[in-house]
Each structure stands twice: as C-alpha cells, then as structure tokens.
Amino acid sequence: MRSEADRRLIHESKHGDAAGWDGGNAQGEQVANGVYVYELTAGEYRAMRRMVIMK
C-alpha cells in the first residue's frame, strides 16, 4: 500500500456533522480509483477509516 498525504481538509459545517471532499489531491487533480485511508479528528476524537473510489 502506498502512503502519501493527498489533501488536508479543514471544514466546519453548521451542525458539525458533515465533511466534504471534491475528490482532488493537493495539486487539484482528480484521484485515481482505489482504496484510500482517511483520518477524521475533532477535539479529542480521532478515527481512521477506508474509502473506495470507483468512477
């Protein structure tokens, strides 16, 4: 598995229950199909999950 930080998002929703991603990497290019690992942090909360991108 290749590991690299593609993009860091800082997003606050009005209700604190949503996050968005436009599917782009740090250069603004669309990412390829595959399995991606993402991390969510909010205060003391931290979670790592997998996401599958299929176009």
CA angle 33, 18, 4 (to 5 degrees): 40
What residues have CB less than 8 Å from 27, skipping those under 6 apart?
none
User: Domain tally for the chain?
Assistant: 1
Q: What is the pLDDT of residue 55?
A: 85
The answer to whether 32 and 51 have CB atoms below 8 angstroms apart is no
- Classified as helix, coil or strand, 19 is coil
Q: What are the tens digits of pLDDT across the range 4-51? A: 666 776 666 667 677 778 888 878 888 899 998 888 887 898 999 999
Query: What is residue 24's predicted lDDT score, i.e. its pLDDT?
Result: 83
Q: Which domain holds residue 40?
A: 23-55
Does 27 fall in a domain?
yes
User: Does 42 fall in a domain?
Assistant: yes
pLDDT at 2: 64
Residue 8 within any structural domain of the chain: no
Q: Is residue 44 part of a domain?
A: yes
Residue 48's pLDDT is what?
A: 92
pTM: 0.63
Q: Is residue 49 part of a domain?
A: yes
